[in-house]
């Protein structure tokens, strides 16, 4: 999993159409047979296919050029050339295709499944059987196949999750993900343990909620500082956000406002999402009073306290996450 890849540059090419054939019917007792040249086959397409078993774009790091098969040339006796085979480019859910030069978004797959034909193969050329007329019984004309297309693409992956965990390094995001789900992120008592996004599934009744833990942010992340800025795009699709505040740190009062400003600088859409504030490490001294202060400081926000190790507040947080997702879905329906 440490080879997580969320960007790749690839080149894709559709197949050329096969050439039409110039041929004439030559059989015993038919000395003046007419034209019999067949058409060329059609070139193969470039097809992107969403596959749920893929989680990263690592496979595109090793194979960067995808070329569909060319169509075969037509032959005599009215034999048409075979069509070229399509080339399939597998991608995970959440993939975004962009033009490598302009950055224009070509396709945002989201949670879509199925196939997307991106480049059509070239049409095959006509054989000389198409050019016979009353004034030209023996045409020696055929058309070449049409060339395929070639494009350079930037492929980006945006992790698909319902709720994203946001916080400073070592705020307890990975520990909470492990507590809620079967995910096994790397956990250690030093900053920047998480270097890649981790996903887990929280099951509430019959509902599965996907949680995303991204690398910790630091002040100045929106300007490129630290690790988190690279992965902020992975919470752009989430329904809601959980801001994790380490109550054992002295900056617990300013943490939420700093995180909020960094997300707002990166994308105003992020801070418009439904959110909750979660004070962590309630098992340590003085954190209970600090949680009360945090609630007084943000009376309009839903502020919860938890301890991953003792389990305090975990059921309440699970219920709050369920409400968060329901609120986001209700808002989407109203907008729709």
Reference 270, options 111, 163, 194; nearest CA is 163
Q: Where are the beta strands (DSSP E) in 198-281?
A: 198-204, 207-213, 240-246, 275-280
From residue 73, alpha-carbon distances to 35, 81, 298 in Å are: 16, 5, 72
105 is in an annotated binding site: no
Q: Is 172 annotated as a binding residue?
A: yes
Q: Is 3 annotated as a binding residue?
A: no
The answer to the question of whether 56 is labelled as a binding residue is: no
| 186 marked as binding residue | no
Question: Counting beta carbons within 10 angstroms of the beta carbon of residue 121, is it exposed (0 to 12), middle (13 to 18) or buried (19 or more)?
Answer: buried
> Is residue 194 part of an annotated ligand binding site?
yes
Q: How far is CA 220 from CA 17, 115, 192, 248, 332, in A?
A: 53, 40, 15, 22, 31
Residues contacting residue 165 through CB under 8 Å, at least 6 positions apart: 173, 176, 177, 211, 212, 213, 214, 241, 242, 244
195 carries a ligand binding annotation: yes
Q: Is 97 annotated as a binding residue?
A: no
Token representation of residue 54: 């893929």
Is residue 181 marked as binding?
A: no
φ and ψ of 276, to 5 deg: -135, 155
Tell me if 233 is assigned to a ligand binding site. no
173 assigned binding-site residue: yes
Question: Is 24 one of the annotated binding-site residues?
Answer: no
Q: Any known ligand binding at 287?
A: no
212 assigned binding-site residue: no
Query: Would you say 14 is a known binding-site residue?
Result: no
Q: Is 196 annotated as a binding residue?
A: yes
214 is in an annotated binding site: yes
The reply to whether 261 sits in an annotated binding site is no
State how far the alpha carbon of 35 is from the alpha carbons of 30, 38, 76, in Å: 12, 9, 9
- Residue 220 marked as a ligand binder: no
Q: Is 327 annotated as a binding residue?
A: no
- Spatial CB neighbours of 129, under 8 Å, sequence gap ≥ 6: 34, 35, 36, 37, 38, 78
280 has binding-site annotation: yes
299 is in an annotated binding site: no
102 annotated as ligand-binding: no
Q: Is 165 annotated as a binding residue?
A: no
Instruction: Mark the binding-site residues, compressed into ranges.
Output: 167-174, 192-196, 213-216, 280-283, 307-309
Instruction: Mark the binding-site residues for Mg(2+), compressed into ranges.
Output: 174, 194
Instruction: Mark the binding-site residues for GTP, compressed into ranges.
Output: 167-174, 192-196, 213-216, 280-283, 307-309
């Amino acid at each position: 999993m440490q080879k997580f890849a969320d960007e790749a540059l690839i080149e894709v090419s559709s197949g050329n159409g096969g050439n039409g054939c110039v041929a004439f019917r030559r059989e015993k007792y038919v000395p003046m047979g007419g034209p019999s040249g067949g058409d060329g086959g059609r070139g193969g397409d470039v097809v992107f296919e969403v596959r749920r078993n893929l989680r990263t774009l690592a496979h595109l790091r090793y194979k960067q050029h995808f070329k569909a098969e060319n169509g075969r040339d037509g032959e005599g006796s009215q034999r048409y050339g075979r069509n070229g085979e399509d080339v399939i480019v597998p991608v995970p859910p959440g993939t975004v295709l962009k033009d490598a030069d302009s950055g224009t978004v070509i396709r945002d797959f989201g949670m879509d499944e199925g196939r997307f034909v991106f480049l059509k193969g070239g049409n095959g050329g006509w054989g000389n059987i198409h050019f016979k007329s009353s004034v030209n019984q023996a045409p020696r004309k055929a058309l070449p196949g049409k060339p395929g297309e070639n494009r350079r693409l930037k492929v980006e992956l945006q992790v698909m999750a319902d709720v994203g965990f946001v916080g400073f390094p070592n705020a307890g995001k990975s520990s909470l993900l492990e507590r809620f789900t079967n995910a096994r992120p790397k956990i250690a008592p030093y900053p920047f343990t998480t270097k890649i996004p981790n996903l887990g599934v929280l099951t509430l009744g019959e509902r599965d909620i996907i949680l995303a833990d991204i690398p910790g942010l630091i002040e100045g992340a929106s300007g490129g500082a630290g690790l988190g800025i690279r992965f902020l795009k992975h919470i752009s699709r989430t329904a809601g956000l959980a801001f994790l505040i380490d109550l054992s740190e002295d900056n617990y009062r300013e943490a939420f406002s700093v995180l909020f400003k960094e997300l707002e600088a990166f994308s105003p859409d992020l801070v418009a999402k439904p959110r909750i504030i979660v004070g962590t490490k309630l098992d340590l001294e003085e954190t209970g009073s600090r949680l009360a202060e945090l609630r007084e400081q943000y009376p309009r926000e839903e502020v919860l306290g938890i301890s991953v190790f003792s389990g305090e507040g975990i059921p309440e947080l699970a219920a709050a996450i369920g409400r968060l997702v329901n609120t986001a879905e209700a808002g989407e329906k109203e907008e729709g």
